[in-house]
């Protein structure tokens, strides 16, 4: 006996129209009313990725969904890249193209460990590319500091951003967090 399994995927969005620079051109966008995410946000296997997961962070009365990727700094090289499915959180406004294909190509463009006056510094930078998004971000960290991190914002829509958070764990590991959310919610994590 053979069996067939059919999966239905329901997406909850509201279609809205955004005019561009007061012109007649209309660009449809989705106001996301249900989150869009994957439990394992990294697509594929990469020797420099220690692990990846999705976290649910309570922010006031809101649950923010965050993709978390841990990278082994001793294995990753400049030019290495990985594919990521970033969570699109409730309240975000995104284009139809981004909503239907949110996959990001993340490329490491700098991974430098240096020492100055007896202190270790990590400089880590990435480029983010998709059919819609072209961005880069990064930071230099003093590794002896506690609870250090940096956040990069990329505009998706008027009040919706791609948040990229850099958190070095030590000289050999960095945690990257990615999520698409309204500024009013996403900015509460930093």
Per residue in 25-48, pLDDT (tens digit) is 445 677 899 999 999 999 999 999
Number of domains in the chain: 1
Query: Which structural domain range is residue 62 located in?
Result: 34-189
> How many CB atoms are closer than 10 A to CB 14?
10
Does 168 fall in a domain? yes
Residue 169: per-residue pLDDT: 87
Distance between CA atoms of residues 103 and 99, nearest Å: 9
Per residue in 70-108, pLDDT (tens digit) is 999 999 999 999 999 999 999 999 998 898 889 999 999
Does 6 fall in a domain? no
Distance between CA atoms of residues 162 and 17, nearest Å: 21
Does 124 fall in a domain? yes
Question: Burial of 85 by CB count in 10 Å (0-12 exposed, 13-18 middle, 19+ buried)?
Answer: buried
| Contact in structure between 131 and 65 (CB atoms under 8 Å) | no
User: Residue range 122-126: average pLDDT?
Assistant: 95
Does 138 fall in a domain? yes
Residue 28: per-residue pLDDT: 66
Residue 27: per-residue pLDDT: 55
């Amino acid at each position: 006996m053979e069996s067939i399994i059919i999966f239905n995927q329901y997406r909850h969005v509201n279609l809205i129209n955004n005019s561009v620079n007061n012109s007649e051109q209309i660009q449809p966008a989705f106001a996301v009313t249900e989150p869009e995410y994957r439990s394992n946000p990294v697509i594929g296997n990469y020797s420099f990725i220690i692990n990846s997961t999705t976290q649910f962070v309570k922010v006031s009365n809101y649950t923010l969904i965050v993709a978390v990727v841990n990278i082994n700094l001793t294995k990753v090289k400049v030019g290495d890249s990985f594919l990521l499915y970033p969570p699109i959180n409730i309240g975000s406004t995104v284009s139809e193209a981004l909503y239907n294909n949110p996959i990001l190509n993340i490329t490491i463009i700098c991974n430098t460990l240096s020492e100055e006056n007896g202190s270790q510094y990590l400089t880590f930078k990435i480029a983010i590319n998709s059919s819609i998004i072209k961005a880069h971000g990064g930071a230099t960290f003093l590794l002896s500091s506690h609870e250090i991190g940096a956040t990069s914002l990329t505009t998706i829509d008027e009040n919706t951003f791609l948040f990229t958070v850099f958190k070095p764990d030590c000289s050999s590991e960095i945690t990257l967090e990615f999520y698409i959310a309204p500024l009013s919610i996403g900015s509460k994590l930093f």
